[in-house]
Amino acid sequence: MSMKVLLLGAGISSSSAALDLADDRLSPDVKEIAVADISIERAEKVVRKALRLTKRKKVEALCVDASSDDLINLIKNYDVVINGLLYTYIPKVMKSCLEAGVNYLDLGSDVETVRMQKSLDKKFKDRGITAIIGMGCSPGMINIMAKRAAEELDYVEKITMREGWIDLTDYGSAKIPLPVPYSFDTIADEFEDKVEIWTDKGLILVEALSGAEIVEFPEPIGRQKVYYVEHPEIYTIGEYLRGKGLKFVDYKLSFPDELVMKYSMLRDIGLLNEEEIFYKGKKMTIRDLVREKALEKIETIDVTPDDFDAIIVSAYGLKNERPATCRVISVVRSNKKWGVSAQSLAVGVPASIAAQMMGYGKIDKGVYNPEEVIDSDYFIKSASKRGIEFRISLETKLDS
């Protein structure tokens, strides 16, 4: 079969999905790809990269305002929509896909939005279409890693997720004052929003960037300080594995020191908030202005990405009535051929794999979190072909 995919949003995080879909070797059954963004220049830049990876596919750039009423008419022309836009657009785009009768996928949001999306399950089933929500890196790939770890155990009491990241990109020589290695708004939220920890008794809230601990990640990432940041996968994984005895799930992430310093400063002086202002006759929030200025600088310069991302998911429980721990580790490197960062690759590749699974009819109809419907072995095999490394280990305590 052949499929037509619409990618909404040509941002840093989502652009790798278009490149993976375009690659003739990795995605042979994708026939057409449209990259749609409110900035045609941004969409065209992604399309130029994508066209280098294919000799036979149609890849085009479209200028689209996702808030427009014309969105449904555009969506109707495709088999799958990957929503790579800011999470505030999720309700509009998802409901537009429902009305158009087209499969839907997004890169993640928050717990409240996830609950709203899951409430649409029956409507998607009745319409005969599928939605996979939170299908980037974290959430997304990390959910499937947690599922894989839990599959090794008979009983799971606790799951911890730790993500380590180092960025060696030379922003100084490129004269980029504020690095934006993935979604600006995601980073801003990670520095501002209260963080949820899942327990079988309910969600617990803690402060952003609290709970610092040192974790040893695979080289070259090495020892990193990780912090609590808001991620919805703790909720979906907790609910999915509740029946296996799960009592606790949390997530922590590391940041490069320079990024922590700069974004903490922006937060502390109020430049990440949603207060509305007028700038050059245009109404926007303070955060909108900072984002616009940061991306304006980055998009005019070609920077060679040089970063590494690793995730360690640890499931603690019992195997054959003995205490056991299963760890699933992933390592992602920036892709020089594609010209994308490890962060972008880790988001876009899982989205592309899942979108193609929907196109193949491998996923049941309805609205799902990744761990509910994606076979972990199939996913790991597919992602490994794209350069993402996985390691799985099981440790069982012997009888004393």
Pair 271, 366 in one domain? no
Please state, in angstroms and as integers, the Cα–Cα distance from residue 301 to each residue in 171, 205, 394, following that order. 10, 40, 45
Out of 5-9, 24-28, 269-273, which region has the weakest mean confidence (pLDDT)?
A: 269-273
Pair 106, 217 in one domain? no
Pair 177, 319 in one domain? yes
Q: Is the pLDDT of residue 312 over 80?
A: yes
Choose between 313 and 13: higher pLDDT: 313
Per-residue pLDDT tens for 315-356? 999 999 999 999 999 999 999 889 899 999 999 999 999 999
pTM of the shown model:
0.92
Pair 148, 278 in one domain? yes
CATH number at residue 100: 3.40.50.720
Pair 166, 76 in one domain? no
Pair 336, 348 in one domain? no
CATH number at residue 246: 3.30.360.10
Classify burial at 362, counting beta carbons within 10 Å of its beta carbon; exposed 0-12, middle 13-18, buried 19 or more: middle
Q: Work out how many domains the chain is built from and give that number.
A: 2
Give percent of the chain with pLDDT exceeding 90.
76
Tokens of 376: 């972990």
From CA 176, how far away is CA 196, in angstroms rounded? 33
Pair 235, 266 in one domain? yes
Pair 208, 258 in one domain? yes
Pair 73, 112 in one domain? yes
Per-residue pLDDT tens for 206-233? 999 999 999 999 999 999 999 999 999 9
- Give the closest residue to 309 by CA, choosing from 332, 325, 328: 332
Pair 97, 128 in one domain? yes
Per-residue pLDDT tens for 159-217? 999 999 998 887 777 678 887 877 788 888 888 889 999 999 999 999 999 999 999 99
Please tell me what DSSP assigns to residue 270.
T
pLDDT value at position 152?
Answer: 97
- Report the interhelical angle of 184-192 vs 257-268 (nearest 10°): 70
Confidence class for position 295, pLDDT limits 50, 70, 90: confident
Pair 320, 216 in one domain? yes
Confidence class for position 297, pLDDT limits 50, 70, 90: low
Range of the domain at 69: 3-136+344-377
Pair 230, 213 in one domain? yes
